[in-house]
A and B are shown apart, each in its own frame.
Chain A
Amino acid sequence: DAKTTQPTSMDCAEGRAANLPCNHSTISGNEYVYWYRQIHSQGPQYIIHGLKNNETNEMASLIITEDRKSSTLILPHATLRDTAVYYCIVRVEGSGTYKYIFGTGTRLKVLA
C-alpha cells in the first residue's frame, strides 16, 4: 500500500497561511490523496481531496506536484481553532472497495 510521510509537528502564527507538506512517493496513478484533521481525539474531519489537479474549497487548498509524489495542504488564514492533527491519506483500492491509509500526521499548533 502507498504510504505517506509527514512532519511530526509545525507551528503557525494566527492569520498566516499554514502549509502542511506530505510525501507519497509510492502512490499509484489512480490513488487519491485525502486530508483529514482530528481535534482532541474526536472523529477525524474531512478537509479536501484530489488526484492530479490542484483543488480548493472553503476550508483549504491542495497542491499536488506534477509527478504526484508529494502534496501540500494550505490553510490560507489559520485561526486558533485550526490547531489539530492533520492527516495525509492515500485511498487505495482493495477487494472491491477502498482503503484509506493514514499517514503519521502533523500536529499543527496555531499561535496567537
Chain B
Amino acid sequence: DTEVTQTPKHLVMGMTNKKSLKCEQHMGHRAMYWYKQKAKKPPELMFVYSYEKLSINESVPSRFSPECPNSSLLNLHLHALQPEDSALYLCASTDRYNEQFFGPGTRLTVL
C-alpha cells in the first residue's frame, strides 16, 4: 500500500456543525501533516505530527483540532468553522528519505 487516503472527498457543513476529516497511510511513515489550500494558492502548513506527537502547530485557530490516534491515522476535528475556512484540506506523510506523499484532499465548504 503506497498511498495516503483521505475521507470524505467532499464535505459541506454549517457554522454550528462538528465534523472530522480522516487521513490514513499504511507505509510506516512516522511524520504526518495537515495543509490547507485556498483556490489558486499554494498549500499552507497547519500541523505536523512526529511519532504520534504534535510537533508543529502553525498558529492555527482552535476551531481546528488535530488528533493522531496511532501511527497510521490522522484526524482533523472541525467545530464552529467560518465560511473563510472553506478550502481543500490536504494530508501528507513523509518517508525516511523525507519525500512527502500527499493524499487527494478533502474539499470543505462551510455555509
**Stretch among A11-19, A42-50, A63-71, A72-80 lining the B interface:** A42-50
Measured in the bound complex, the distance between the Cα atoms of B41 and A94 in whole Å is 23
B50 interfacial contact with A, CB 8 Å = yes
Residue from B90, B98, B103 in contact with A91 in the complex, judged by beta carbons closer than 8 Å = B98
Q: A41-B88, A105-B42 are contacts. A97–B105 as well, Cβ < 8 Å?
A: no
Main DSSP-derived SS at the B contact region: strand
For the complex, count residues of A whose C-beta is within 8 A of B. 24
Q: Are A103 and B100 in contact (CB under 8 A)?
A: no
Main DSSP-derived SS at the A contact region: strand
For the complex, count residues of B whose C-beta is within 8 A of A. 26
A104 interfacial contact with B, CB 8 Å = yes
- Chain A residues within 8 Å of B65, by CB: none
Q: Are B105 and A42 in contact (CB under 8 A)?
A: yes
A29 interfacial contact with B, CB 8 Å = no
B64 interfacial contact with A, CB 8 Å = no
